Amino acid sequence: MPHPLDTFFAPDSIALIGASRDLEKIPGRLLSMLRKNEYPGQIYPINPNYGDIDGLKCYKSISDVGQPIDLAIVIIPARAVLAVLEQCAAAGVKNAVIISSGFAEEGGDSAAMQDAIVALAKRTGMRISGPNAEGFLSEVQKVAATFSPTVDVKPGHVPLVATKRRAAIVAQSGGIGFAIKHRAKALGVAISYCVSAGNESDLGAGEFLDYMVQDASTDVILLFIEGIRDVDKFLAAARRAAESGKPVIVTKVGRSGAGERAAASHTASMAGWSAAYDAVFAKYGFIVSNDLDEAVAIAAVLTTNPLPKGDRVAVLTVSGGAGIWGADTVALQGLQVPELSPAIQTEIKKLLPSYGAAGNPIDVTAQGVHSGGLQNSIDLLSASGEVDAILVVLSLSSDTRVPFKQAELRPVISAQHKPIVFYSYTLPSAFARSEFAACGAVVLSGLTHAGVAMRRMVERARFKLAPKVDATAPPCDLSAHLKSATLSEHDSKALLRAAGIAVPDEVLVTEKSGLDAAIVQLGFPLVAKIQSRDIPHKSEVGGVRVGIASKGEVFLAYEALLNNARRHRPDAGIQGVLIGSMAKKGVEIIVGTMLDATFGPMIMVGLGGVTTELFRDVVYRPAPVSTVEAGAMLAELKAAPLLNGFRGAAQADVPALSQLIAQVSVLAAQQAREISEIELNPVLVHPEGQGVTIVDALVVRKT
Amino acid sequence: MPHPLDTFFAPDSIALIGASRDLEKIPGRLLSMLRKNEYPGQIYPINPNYGDIDGLKCYKSISDVGQPIDLAIVIIPARAVLAVLEQCAAAGVKNAVIISSGFAEEGGDSAAMQDAIVALAKRTGMRISGPNAEGFLSEVQKVAATFSPTVDVKPGHVPLVATKRRAAIVAQSGGIGFAIKHRAKALGVAISYCVSAGNESDLGAGEFLDYMVQDASTDVILLFIEGIRDVDKFLAAARRAAESGKPVIVTKVGRSGAGERAAASHTASMAGWSAAYDAVFAKYGFIVSNDLDEAVAIAAVLTTNPLPKGDRVAVLTVSGGAGIWGADTVALQGLQVPELSPAIQTEIKKLLPSYGAAGNPIDVTAQGVHSGGLQNSIDLLSASGEVDAILVVLSLSSDTRVPFKQAELRPVISAQHKPIVFYSYTLPSAFARSEFAACGAVVLSGLTHAGVAMRRMVERARFKLAPKVDATAPPCDLSAHLKSATLSEHDSKALLRAAGIAVPDEVLVTEKSGLDAAIVQLGFPLVAKIQSRDIPHKSEVGGVRVGIASKGEVFLAYEALLNNARRHRPDAGIQGVLIGSMAKKGVEIIVGTMLDATFGPMIMVGLGGVTTELFRDVVYRPAPVSTVEAGAMLAELKAAPLLNGFRGAAQADVPALSQLIAQVSVLAAQQAREISEIELNPVLVHPEGQGVTIVDALVVRKT
């Protein structure tokens, strides 16, 4: 099915506006790169100062061309860009990529020029990438619409291609995008596209991602982002990627304060809140990597291997120490390195010297290589049901020899029975890379990256996209409950109750005379808590009494709470004292929601108490989530064992907790215009079948 | 000062026993490598089958040489080795390295041959490395006593040397040792020695480490270990390294079950318990790295830079996105990326275009490079007091250009005012590496590795070796307390009390009639706990009652505890019921000791309760520790804030806890022949000045 951006990425004709003969400068380099990379379509250089450039007729303006133009590459001073774009639109140019800098990234007047470009794109329908973009490379259609030095073609250089499947690169930073391409190609990973997004006046990273998701020549996507602007397109593309099973490896920067500071000032981008990004990535099964070589290693294993059926890894080596290191690395990634069965060990040992090892790691030794033990072991392990993936740890520094014969290794790789990952502890030689590439294999040079890549493959194989949550029911009107910026616990619980969420029976006592009725209703033991919209942290003002066991104590507590509040916060408006029963015991959990500036409502769950803050053991997802997805969130907590009968304790009521999380997430999503935060802290999760208790609650109105 | 191993590492003469003309095989390659690397001393090939090899006179046996021989390299069949070693010793050979395999790593008879070698070394004083060793390389003295392909000399190849300081490599795996060398040299890190330890019949990794620590040509040490055998020498060398300030970067494998399985079976080595290794590494300030490129990157920054005076980093870049990534990476390592002062920003901006950024990260932009902004910024930041280190993030893939002039960059690097670390996001070209090497700088290719290396530099600068603990006081005789394999709580506390450690006043009641006296002594509320040497986990048999508030309850509890114990464990011998006061509140801590098979007594401290097990927030050190070192252990806990007034809680009595840890560690060290484990769990740490309470204790006798 044709895609609107096909003419952008595979143009039949390109106008180069600002073309130059000076190969040392960017405009000249753009033309040179296009031709060196053998662009097969028509090129129309545009520059009023030349009659021809490098044998091509040069036009004074775009309107002189008189032929259909799919793509205009614009590299002229910023102040001249808008007028030229108008001419392009008038001439029927379908797409433009603006390389010129000096727009939103400068602020002031320059930002206004970019706004005008946005308006022009909307008005005319011409699709515009940039300004301040580094352009793109389409390897499939041989379109090098970029000045990146990494697309230069060196005479006599034979590109290394190890993979049949291709990776596409979408990057908000051109420098990084083409660096990813540079490193991926050095490993032999075939590339379909590499596109930089620049200032995203019209075309953004989300839309580019969408293109790569539907593109048949792209099998894996590498994504580098600072902050997503076209959020809806991005989310739609993410869902399509997850549904179609096409892996996306994402790097998100601007995670630290310093990074965020630069992201805001440099790229005119909303760097955003990384927890929300990570939540979105987790929802759609994106593979997060914050290291360039690691990301490329993951792409390399995904473009050369099938996904594993499980997490059992065989580590095969020619050097004992390296094999142990390999086994450690894989095991520390949480994968299994099972001891092989006696049957398969016996088979493997047939070609090994006596000091070899077949248990796993399997050390065939240098001598075992000569006798064919390495290939034999791969054959056996590839056919075996005992492991799901193989890590081969070798020394491949030789310029003349590799420990495999192409004719023997290639069929095993081609069969794609299970992932086979190759790592060299010495720096692999170009010769070795090329020999392995001929077999369809990439040689990794980082062991940690190899281990992480194998782990990510296993996770990817396990990933299931959570079904969409039906949030079509009309939201209830809660405006009556949102009278203050910060709701008291009593008001917050009333709002939750109105939204259909179960909260404990409690009595708000506003005069001492009301205490008797509360006691009659609730019995003993009791809890008493001061209620004020001005006091969100009750404990800090001595505003909580627990374990009240008698009528006398209730009255004393009531007095004390009011006195404490008046002493600590004389200005606070006091609603009264909330009297409730002591909650049954349970595991302390925190459930919260917040609005992210980029992605909107988010739901969070974590272990309650001090550990939440100390160990940051919390999990976020975009709201709403289903009970199934809520359950998956809980399983991700390091503290998950506490809910599942840790050290002989009772199994906690995880279904009830999952249901609460789902309900709260739907509430946050439906009320995203009214409510900015909900925090239930703690929620006590009782033993199986006994439900949960929301002990305290706080709702913050959106301002 | 001469060192006994000088004649090993810098021999004036070498006998090559088993020399061969066949360059395809290891014996032939050994001779070839020695000569290609221009060994300046005498070489005596020994082989009864040849009159000469490659122009050198060949001897029938070592006794025919008739000249002093510093080193014999032995590469003959395993069964012939012992006799040849006897001849070597008789001929006065000072050292031997046995390359031949087929000894302890095969087990059985072959292991016995190795034992004979050990005995020979002891008897004759000839020092022996191997068998099953890959030999060593001395770059300083041009001794390539190894068959490793990585020491081959390629015609016309000019080695890259970026560092004045040198790194030595000591590895228990020859394959890995020379792989480290291969990668280090590719970065331009100068090497002093690379030595593989093999089976360590006589010379072990500890003694080799000691050599490198005292060696004046070695500035940094890279250590790869599977399991230390010469423990005392290793520990002495570690202390000397710490005292002399020479950094040791260590990789320890055999950390996972699978790795350990292979370590035990393959290299005849005790892989050991990694927690104890890590504790020893921490004590001596070793830099732990479990990734090859990361370890080499750390060595590269340490051989080219001074240590930083603090943790404030400036990130300097030519590409916005890459700069943000750099700032993120450094910040996620816990280093600061402070915003620069307006004064320095103004200075930096003078050479940047308007869309550059000077806040930190500093983006000089591609244009800023042309105008000299990159060099100018480095000069300013190097002289500035605002940052302690600089990370420069560049694209260095060009074969013809780098963004610095040698004459300008070299003086800043040479001045060594602060660390300046260079990272290229594209793969650096050989040209760029060589240009930077001429300035005394290494180009790193992994950003995470650069960030980790900077972090390790900061930690290294902060490291202080803890003073030795005076454990000369004679240990008290505790044998009377060690009557059973596992001591009851009562017996354990009695032992602690006898050792001078304060435990709470408690009464062991053996008959109901004793309860009254206990009540009189202790008052209410009380705790009652069943005591039996056969019941280490009292709670599991309903053996604990807390919060007992009246005489009636005490009697009921006494009955109930005895009944529960009899019902659950009818076979258990019951000591009685321990009656104690309810402890004051405090932070729950666990303090423990255990004996490591390699390093002996270890002290452990962690946050008590469920979190210990879930989050593994524990810190180990070799015992004994001082109170100062105990305090440092506590500061390493993720949960440390809980002891330091977390969320408005009282500051806990950290001095009292530190003293307890120190006391327990001395006890464990002094009684290492009698006691295998002590566990105090929980210890309650009360508010400042109120001490600690050992609530429960368990001592296990050494079997």
pLDDT digit string (tens) for B326-371?
999 999 999 999 999 999 999 999 988 888 889 999 999 888 888 8
**C-beta neighbour count of B399 within 10 angstroms:** 11
Q: Which residue of B has its CA nearest to A150?
A: B397
**Integer angstrom CA distances of residue B24 from A426, B29, B32, B312:** 20, 7, 10, 53
pLDDT digit string (tens) for B578-614?
999 999 999 999 999 999 889 999 999 998 877 777 8
Q: How far apart are alpha carbons B219 and A482 in whole angstroms?
A: 67
Residue B176: is its pLDDT beyond 60? Answer: yes
Q: Which of B292, B444, B25 is nearest to A424 (CA)?
A: B292
Q: How far apart are alpha carbons A136 and A146 in whole angstroms?
A: 5
* A105-125 burial: b if 16+ Cβ within 10 Å, else e: bbeeebeebbeebeebbeebe
Per the domain annotation, does A15 fall within a domain?
yes
CB contact set of A163 (below 8 Å; sequence gap of 6+): A188, A189, A190, A300, A303, A304, A440, A442
Q: Do residue B158 and residue B288 come from a single domain?
A: yes
Q: How far apart are alpha carbons B647 and B653 in whole angstroms?
A: 16
Q: CA of B666 to nearest chain A CA: how many angstroms apart?
A: 31
Report the pLDDT averaged over residues A92-114.
90
Q: Which residue has the tokens 């990734």?
A: B291
CATH number of the domain residue A51 falls in: 3.40.50.720
- For A37-187, where are the alpha helices, taking DSSP H only? 78-90, 108-124, 174-187
Q: Do residue A312 and residue A300 come from a single domain?
A: no
**Residue span of the structural domain in which A256 resides:** 154-304
Residue B259 and residue A361: Cβ atoms within 8 Å? Answer: yes
Per the domain annotation, does B261 fall within a domain?
yes
Residue B322 and residue A290: Cβ atoms within 8 Å? Answer: no
Q: How far apart are alpha carbons A283 and A463 in whole angstroms?
A: 9
Helix (H) or strand (E) holding A700: strand A697-701
pLDDT for residue B259: 61
Q: How far apart are alpha carbons B275 and B660 in whole angstroms?
A: 21
Residue A176 and residue B329: Cβ atoms within 8 Å? Answer: no
Q: Do residue A440 and residue A313 come from a single domain?
A: yes
CB nearest to A226's CB, from B226, B324, B339 = B324
Banded pLDDT at A647 (limits 50, 70, 90): confident
Report the pLDDT averaged over residues A46-72.
96
Per the domain annotation, does B145 fall within a domain?
no
pLDDT digit string (tens) for B449-474?
999 999 999 999 999 999 888 766 77
Residue B265: is its pLDDT beyond 50? Answer: no
B613: which chain A residues are within 8 Å (Cβ-Cβ)?
647
Q: What count of Cα atoms within 13 Å lies in the side-chain half-sphere of residue A144?
A: 20
pLDDT digit string (tens) for B643-701?
998 877 889 999 999 999 999 999 999 999 999 999 999 999 999 999 999 999 999 99
Domain boundary among B133, B162, B197: B133
Helix (H) or strand (E) holding A460: helix A447-462
Residue B260: is its pLDDT beyond 80? Answer: no
**How many domains, in total, are found in chain A?**
5
Q: Which of A81, A111, A76, A79 is nearest to A268 (CA)?
A: A111
**C-beta neighbour count of B559 within 10 angstroms:** 12
Q: Which of B424, B244, B223 is nearest to B318 (CA)?
A: B424
Mean pLDDT score of chain B: 93
* Residue length of chain B: 703
Residue A331 and residue B446: Cβ atoms within 8 Å? Answer: no
CATH number of the domain residue B635 falls in: 3.30.470.20
Amino acid at the residue B703:
T
Q: Do residue B562 and residue B598 come from a single domain?
A: no
CB nearest to B262's CB, from A324, A614, A648 = A324
pLDDT digit string (tens) for B424-446?
999 999 999 999 999 999 999 99
Residue B263: is its pLDDT beyond 60? Answer: no
Q: Is the peptide bond before B131 cis (omega within 30 degrees of 0)?
A: yes
DSSP output for B264-286: HHHSS-----HHHHHHHHHHTT-
Per the domain annotation, does B141 fall within a domain?
no
Q: Do residue A319 and residue A456 come from a single domain?
A: yes
More confident: B538 or A463: A463
Report the pLDDT averaged over residues B105-116.
87
DSSP output for A266-324: HSS-----HHHHHHHHHHTT-EE--SHHHHHHHHHHHHHSPPPSSSBEEEEESSHHHHH
pLDDT for residue B609: 76
Q: CA of A136 to nearest chain B CA: how many angstroms apart?
A: 17
Q: Do residue A316 and residue A289 come from a single domain?
A: no
- Pick among B261, B270, B401, B426 to test the A interface (most A CBs inside 10 A): B426
SS (H, E, C) A65-99: CCCCCCEEEECCCHHHHHHHHHHHHHCCCCEEEEC
pLDDT for residue A397: 94
Banded pLDDT at B106 (limits 50, 70, 90): confident
CB nearest to B320's CB, from A262, A293, A540 = A262
pLDDT digit string (tens) for A587-614?
999 999 999 889 999 999 998 877 777 8
CB contact set of B174 (below 8 Å; sequence gap of 6+): A319, B133, B134, B135, B146, B148, B196, B198
Residue A119: is its pLDDT beyond 90? Answer: yes
Q: Do residue B125 and residue B165 come from a single domain?
A: no
Q: Do residue A286 and residue A311 come from a single domain?
A: no
Per the domain annotation, does A477 fall within a domain?
no
CATH number of the domain residue A399 falls in: 3.40.50.261
Mean pLDDT score of chain A: 93
DSSP output for A500-521: T-----EEEE-SGGGHHHHHHH
Q: Do residue A569 and residue A633 come from a single domain?
A: no
CB nearest to B253's CB, from A259, A324, A357 = A324
SS (H, E, C) B361-384: CEECHHHHHHCCHHHHHHHHHHHC
Per the domain annotation, does A521 fall within a domain?
yes
Q: Which of A693, A502, A696 is nearest to A587 (CA)?
A: A693
Per the domain annotation, does A145 fall within a domain?
no
Q: Do residue B73 and residue B216 come from a single domain?
A: no
Report the pLDDT averaged over residues A111-137.
96
Domain boundary among B444, B462, B480: B462
CATH number of the domain residue A561 falls in: 3.30.1490.20
Per the domain annotation, does A318 fall within a domain?
yes
**Integer angstrom CA distances of residue B124 from B87, B89, B93, B204:** 11, 6, 10, 18
Q: Are B508 and B492 in contact (CB under 8 A)?
A: no
Q: CA of A277 to nearest chain B CA: how many angstroms apart?
A: 15
Q: Do residue B203 and residue B97 come from a single domain?
A: no
DSSP output for A600-628: EEEEEEEE-SHHHHHH--EEEEESP--HH
Banded pLDDT at A471 (limits 50, 70, 90): low
Domain boundary among B286, B304, B322: B304
User: Under DSSP, is residue A9 helix (H, G, I), strand (E, B) or coil?
Assistant: helix
Q: Do residue A122 and residue A166 come from a single domain?
A: no
CB nearest to B425's CB, from A172, A292, A337 = A292
Query: Two tokens at A701?
Result: 């109105």
